[in-house]
């Protein structure tokens, strides 16, 4: 079995693959102060709940956007997955994709995983949108080249910033209001954040289509808020909640002969 770890700014998403199929996935908060033992015991509890053993894992591949956690994650793997070979997605690893980024070292490994999975699953040209702590857009050409994309604050960050940097605006539940014309402070905030964010996403998609002259580019969304935003978008967005994990597994297979 192969274990994939996507270490994001808010959560660590994990996926367990067997015979080329994702059989289990879990997530936990990516609290930076956690020790290797705390993370390892958490992982063991996931495996116990699924009726599996950590000894069954023969390989681990990790995507991380928190460099300060990498040593802890690697140490956890060596302690609790002793039969597994560990690799990180980073410079020098095979992706099967031409990265046309000015400085590939600056490119988040999760964006690479999303691009690899989207192209292999849906073909090109394809646009990935990952709704995480930040919302990232990644563009892959028809030939399978990663061209670049865009990064903007995630919708939760946007909402938090609004309420934290203003004296009288309250925290509100992130739901779609009945009308874009709010009749109280709560519905006004909800209308501005939700409809404004959907508009931002649709505008970026439209500009990418125009710049590439690809009006029929496929759009694939992943991340915690993907379903919420895609529901109100004008575009026919493909939802894949495990896109990053699948990309990790594909990259693992490219770099090792293990099943």
Residues known to be catalytic: 110
Q: CB–CB of 97/115 below 8 Å? A: yes
- Euclidean distance between CA atoms 238 and 180, whole angstroms: 26
Helix axes 243-255, 109-122, angle to 10 degrees: 90
């Amino acid at each position: 079995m192969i274990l994939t770890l996507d270490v994001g700014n808010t959560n660590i998403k994990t996926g367990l693959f067997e015979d080329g199929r994702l059989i289990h996935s879990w997530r936990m908060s990516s609290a930076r102060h956690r020790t290797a033992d705390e993370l390892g015991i958490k992982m063991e509890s996931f495996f116990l709940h699924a009726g599996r053993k950590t000894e069954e894992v023969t390989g681990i591949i990790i995507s991380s956007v928190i460099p300060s956690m990498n040593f802890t994650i690697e140490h956890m793997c060596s302690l609790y997955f002793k039969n597994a070979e560990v690799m990180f997605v980073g410079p020098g690893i095979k992706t099967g994709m031409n990265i046309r980024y000015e400085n590939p070292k600056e490119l988040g490994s999760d964006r690479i995983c999303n691009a690899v999975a989207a192209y292999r699953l849906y073909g090109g040209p394809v646009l990935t949108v990952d709704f995480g702590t930040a919302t990232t857009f990644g563009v892959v050409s028809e030939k399978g080249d990663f061209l670049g994309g865009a990064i903007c604050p995630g919708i939760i960050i946007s909402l938090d910033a609004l309420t934290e940097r203003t004296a009288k605006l309250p925290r509100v539940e992130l739901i779609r209001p009945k009308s874009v014309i709010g009749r109280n402070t709560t519905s006004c905030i909800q209308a501005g954040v939700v409809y404004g964010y959907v508009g931002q996403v649709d505008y970026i998609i439209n500009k990418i289509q125009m710049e590439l002259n690809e009006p029929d580019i496929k759009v694939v969304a992943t991340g915690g808020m993907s379903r919420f935003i895609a529901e109100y978008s004008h575009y026919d967005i493909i939802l894949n909640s495990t896109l990053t994990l699948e990309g990790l597994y594909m990259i693992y297979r490219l770099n090792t002969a293990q099943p």
